[in-house]
Structure 1
Amino acid sequence: MPFSPLGKGFLTGAIGAETRFAPGDFRATVPRLNDDHRTANLTLVEALGRIAAERGVTRAQIALAWLLAQGPDIIPIPGTASPERLRENVGAAAVTLDPADLEHIGSVLASIPVRGERYNAIAQAWIDR
């Protein structure tokens, strides 16, 4: 079960190079979202945006649809605080990706190295329990 499959909002395009997290925002502790890594990782978000635009869907929907296409045993758990985002996330189930789409997305993902760890050492220790 992939939790936080939208990278704590990062893959939606809601977090940019100039984003500053409020005091106490957990995302400020995420290595992939620190200033240097975030800027480098925006290349992936931009590529995801192009793929989503080609399909007429949002970045969140294409990311979730890709996860759903990985198999019936994959159940993404995106978090949300709004009914609008919930509707958007549920809409991913209606996005059909054919083998060519999956190959294209896979090649894009493989061509862009993700910088930074997913969690800081303390959070990762809790996850690894």
Structure 2
Amino acid sequence: MVKEWNELQLDEELEFVTPPIEKVQLVKYSGAAGDYHMIHHDDEVAKEVGLPGIIVHGMFSMGVLGEFVSQIVGNHGFVSDLQVRFIGMVFPGQSLTCRAKVVGKSESKKKVDFEVTAEVTSDKIASEGNVSAIYFS
């Protein structure tokens, strides 16, 4: 899915669907992020606080969006800015459909701006935001 700077066009939309999120990923993410809140790995605790079950970390979906844009840029550049707002819950076993729409390009800076979303279903957005990437050339 790597795209060079000159290949990306304004209003172009790119998409990536993750495999279903597994509970083991959440445990690993907890360790990496230092977020050991039990609602992310203990079904009973999640239900005690009023949730239907274990929920995926909001920051997990942000990481997926950042990685998605990083995969678009590949070795041609880097993600320079990432701003995400968390809107809905994600549960283990669900996949995320990630979308990135090119909303800006700067020739002088070799910068590309994307609007991004991570959706659980076509009508349920989990996260949305903006990502910028700088290309080396």
Given the two structures, how large is their TM-score scaled by the length of structure 2? 0.27
Which has the higher Rg, Structure 1 or Structure 2? 2
Query: Could you say which structure has the higher strand fraction?
Result: 2
Given the two structures, how large is their TM-score scaled by the length of structure 1? 0.28
Query: Could you say which structure has the higher helix fraction?
Result: 1
